[in-house]
Amino acid sequence: PKTDIVFLKVHKSASSTVMNILFRFGETHNLTFAFPIGGGNQLFYPHHFLARFVQGFSPRSPRRFNILCHHMRFLQAEVQKVVSSSAVYFSILRNPVQLMESSFVYYRGAPAFSRARSLEEFLSQPHLYYNPADRDSHYARNLITFDFGFNPNGDVSPKRVQLMLEAIEASFDLLLISEYFDESMVLLKEMLCWDLDSVVSFPLNSRDSSTKSPLPDTIMEKIKNWNRLDWEIYTHFNRTFWERIDRDIGRERMQREVMALRKRRAELARTCLQGMGSVAPKDIKDSSLRPLQHGSAKILGYNLKQGLDKETEHMCRRLVTPELQYSSALYKKQFAQKHP
């Protein structure tokens, strides 16, 4: 199994669920994480990543960490200072249309969004509301492009798009697609030589459907145009994702693998969860399992079954622990004060 990993956590793209998978694997195998200084949950995002943002890194005696997975704005030259040269790089992408809709609800406080009464109003004249110099403006346009380290307001010439795609391909071994999450997990498992239980998960940090509404076609087109760079990245890597499946696994085997993954997830849900699925934040009984609520989104969580034996309870709890709580527990463990 591969243990040196860089995961670029792109916002609002099922990346918290992937992070939970990495946290569990790292914890099980006693791996080290490149934590933000002071144990925060972002590596000084939205600044480009620098090695000195990592707790325990010093340029004089550079230390390599196994897993780098907290929110950052990608800058490979700096990332290479904190992970081994053989590290596997991967990320996950989401359709920019749904990504924009999700960002608008989640980052409602960003000036670009707070000035508009609705997403439709914002898209009718985005330049009226959007100012690249404002704080948090990156949430409002080409967020994928931004997270990968590029200029979200750059021109969309074919030449520039081509260079951007080539740069991403040169840096990353695999780009997953959140709309095909289970297929993505199978590809990830293959690439990392992990077993099925290492990539099985429950969806984390997803929001209640009461705040979601289907988008009319006209709005979808406006979102694509406004986020043209993201759209180019997404369509390109959505295509290469399926090419890779055809080349490395084949559709039939992929179907079997996905079924095995779903079957295992259902088994774990039966074992671990009250009511088999997620619940609204107000219905989460154990406050330590309540995810951070942000913007006007309602972020769902889980209730564990009562009366589980200790080992099962531990396994189940790790599957449903929200990102911030899990991250802080692992940080404390990794940097425990060594008392004489």
Q: Is residue 340 scored above 70 in pLDDT?
A: no
CB atoms within 10 A of CB 80: 14
Give the position of tokens 């925060």. Answer: 40
Structure-token pair, residue 272? 């671990």
Q: Is residue 215 scored above 70 in pLDDT?
A: yes
CB atoms within 10 A of CB 217: 7
Structure-token pair, residue 171? 């840096």
Helix (H) or strand (E) holding 171, with range, is helix 158-171
> Do residues 78 and 15 touch, judged by C-beta distance below 8 A?
no
In 3D, which of 81, 66, 72, 69 has the Cα closest to residue 28?
Answer: 66
Sign of the alpha-carbon torsion through 85, 13, 286, 277: negative
Q: What is the DSSP string of 265-301?
A: HHHHHHHHBGGGS-B-GGG-S-GGGPPPP-TT--B-B
Beta strand 174-177 with 5-8 is unpaired
Residue 321 DSSP SS3: coil
Please tell me the predicted confidence (pLDDT) of residue 214.
87
In 3D, which of 207, 215, 10 has the Cα closest to residue 97?
Answer: 215
> Do residues 45 and 71 touch, judged by C-beta distance below 8 A?
yes
Map out the domains of the chain with their CATH numbers.
5-196+213-254 (3.40.50.300)
d(CA 328, CA 339): 20
pLDDT band for 296, please (50, 70, 90 cuts). confident
Q: Is residue 91 scored above 70 in pLDDT?
A: yes
d(CA 47, CA 334): 25
Encode pLDDT of 8-31 as tens digits: 999 989 999 999 999 999 999 999
**Nearest 5 degrees, angle CA 5-CA 13-CA 67?**
15
Q: Is residue 76 scored above 60 in pLDDT?
A: yes
d(CA 96, CA 215): 13
Non-local (6+) Cβ contacts of 52 within 8 A are: 59
Length of the chain: 340
Beta strand 88-93 with 67-68 is unpaired
Amino acid at 104: F
d(CA 114, CA 209): 21
d(CA 86, CA 102): 35
Encode pLDDT of 149-167 as tens digits: 999 999 999 999 999 999 9
Question: Per DSSP, what are the bridge partners of residue 301?
Answer: 279
Encode pLDDT of 97-133 as tens digits: 999 999 999 999 999 999 999 999 999 999 999 999 9
Q: Is residue 339 scored above 70 in pLDDT?
A: no
d(CA 43, CA 222): 32
With the CA atoms of 67, 73, 74 and 77 taken in that order, what torsion angle do they form, in degrees rounded to the nearest 10? -90
Structure-token pair, residue 156? 């969309």
Please tell me the predicted confidence (pLDDT) of residue 241.
98
